[in-house]
């Protein structure tokens, strides 16, 4: 019996030593530098379980032993806390570093920023030039005013059309949120008309503090049956949104008096009321401005030479302001 007990003790000791040795080896492998020779990007899709994640990392050559990765994740009780997204894995990153990165959700931040007032044609051009987006180049231009300009994040596996979809959803959400909060007495009846006016306000001023004031001018004009007489609408009538991008303005030159005579329903010098559609994609703040415009009795405004505008109640005041603006321009030349 003593021999049996001794044998059991011997083999148990060997087993414990083997387990301990295996554990030390696994810990060493978990903490050792990984196989990557250069930076690599890996996409973990939503819904992936631990085994799928480990397999994805191994298939991308980021780790060499998915079993150790899975055991470590379970021993640390983080196997259900791994975030989906795109990860930038540094050269030589250990499994320990990668697991910690995924628990923290330290995803690689790819983003595109679209400034307010871009036309849909310009947004399509930006997306077609953007690197790291998949899919064919876009050929169809979405309706003007259907995309919300802001910053959008994406992964390398996302395609250009999916970004368009995000922008469309965001614009719809902004409209649904802001339309019910509009003030009463506005000279338009639909959110579509509000987007049209917001697009004009967006193109008329780049100063956040002026949006509601400029919106108030156009609201006053609409209420009085006066033409809006907005230069950007005449420009859109000429370009249809396919604007120049050479630092010389959307026409590639200065707007001329004859341009204000172009026969187009978009030209608010020739046709009263709102044009038939937006002239760009307005931002959230411009949409909010036309739904809650500043209350005043101004019906004219002109550039003041500082990036803003000076406002007037009468034609005489406006003509004096225009004369001052012309003097400023002549001095700049």
CATH number at residue 303: 3.30.160.60
| Domains contained in the chain, number | 3
Query: Does residue 234 belong to any structural domain of this protein?
Result: no
Q: CA-to-CA distance for 305 and 328, rounded, in angstroms?
A: 7
Query: Does residue 226 belong to any structural domain of this protein?
Result: no
Query: Does residue 267 belong to any structural domain of this protein?
Result: no
Query: Does residue 49 belong to any structural domain of this protein?
Result: yes
Same domain as 84, residue 35: yes
Q: CA-to-CA distance for 92 and 94, rounded, in angstroms?
A: 6
pLDDT at 18: 43
Query: What are the two backbone dihedrals, phi and then psi, of residue 7, each rounded to the nearest 5 degrees?
Result: -65, -45
HSE, side-chain direction, 13 A CA sphere, residue 257: 0
Q: Domain end: 170, 185, 200, which one?
A: 170
Query: What are the two backbone dihedrals, phi and then psi, of residue 104, each rounded to the nearest 5 degrees?
Result: -75, -15
Q: Domain end: 104, 139, 160, which one?
A: 104
Q: Are 244 and 162 spatial neighbours (Cβ–Cβ below 8 Å)?
A: no
pLDDT at 14: 46
Same domain as 116, residue 76: no
Domain enclosing residue 100, as ranges: 29-104
Instruction: Tell me the three state secondary structure of residue 302.
Output: strand
pLDDT at 25: 59
H runs (alpha helix) in the chain:
2-31, 50-59, 66-75, 95-104, 120-129, 160-178, 191-204, 211-224, 231-239, 284-291, 315-332
pLDDT at 22: 46
Q: CA-to-CA distance for 203 and 200, rounded, in angstroms?
A: 5
Q: Is the pTM of this model over 0.85?
A: no
pLDDT at 1: 60
pLDDT at 187: 97
Q: Which residues pair with 87 in a beta bridge?
A: 42
Same domain as 155, residue 92: no
pLDDT at 16: 44
For the chain, residues with pLDDT lower than 70 are 1-27, 332-333
């Amino acid at each position: 019996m003593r021999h049996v007990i001794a044998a059991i003790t011997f083999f148990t000791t060997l087993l414990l030593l083997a387990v301990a040795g295996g554990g030390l080896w696994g810990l060493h492998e978990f903490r050792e530098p990984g196989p990557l020779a250069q930076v690599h990007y890996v996409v973990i899709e939503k819904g992936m379980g631990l085994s799928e994640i480990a397999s994805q990392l191994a298939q991308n050559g980021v780790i060499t032993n998915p079993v150790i990765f899975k055991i470590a994740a379970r021993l640390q009780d983080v196997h259900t806390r791994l975030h989906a997204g795109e990860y930038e894995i540094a050269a030589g990153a250990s499994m320990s570093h990668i697991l910690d990165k995924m628990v923290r959700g330290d995803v690689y931040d790819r983003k595109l920023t679209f400034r307010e007032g871009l036309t849909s044609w310009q947004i399509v051009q930006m997306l077609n030039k953007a690197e790291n987006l998949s899919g064919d180049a876009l050929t169809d231009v979405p309706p003007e005013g259907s995309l919300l300009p802001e910053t959008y994040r994406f992964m390398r596996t996302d395609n250009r059309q999916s970004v368009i979809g995000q922008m469309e959803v965001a614009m719809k959400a902004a409209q649904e949120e802001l339309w019910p909060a509009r003030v009463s007495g506005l000279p338009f009846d639909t959110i579509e008309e509000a987007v049209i006016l917001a697009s004009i306000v967006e193109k008329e001023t780049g100063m956040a503090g002026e949006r509601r004031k400029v919106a108030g001018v156009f609201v006053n004009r609409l209420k009085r049956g006066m033409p809006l007489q907005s230069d950007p609408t005449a420009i859109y009538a000429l370009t249809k949104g396919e604007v120049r991008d050479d630092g010389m303005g959307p026409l590639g030159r200065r707007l001329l008096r004859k341009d204000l005579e172009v026969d187009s329903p978009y030209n608010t010098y020739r046709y009263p009321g709102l044009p038939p559609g937006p002239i760009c994609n307005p931002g959230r703040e411009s949409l909010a401005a036309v739904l809650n415009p500043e209350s005043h009795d101004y019906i004219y405004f002109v550039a003041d030479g500082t990036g803003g505008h000076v406002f007037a109640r009468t034609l005489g005041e406006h003509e004096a302001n225009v004369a001052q603006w012309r003097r400023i321009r002549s001095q700049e030349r």
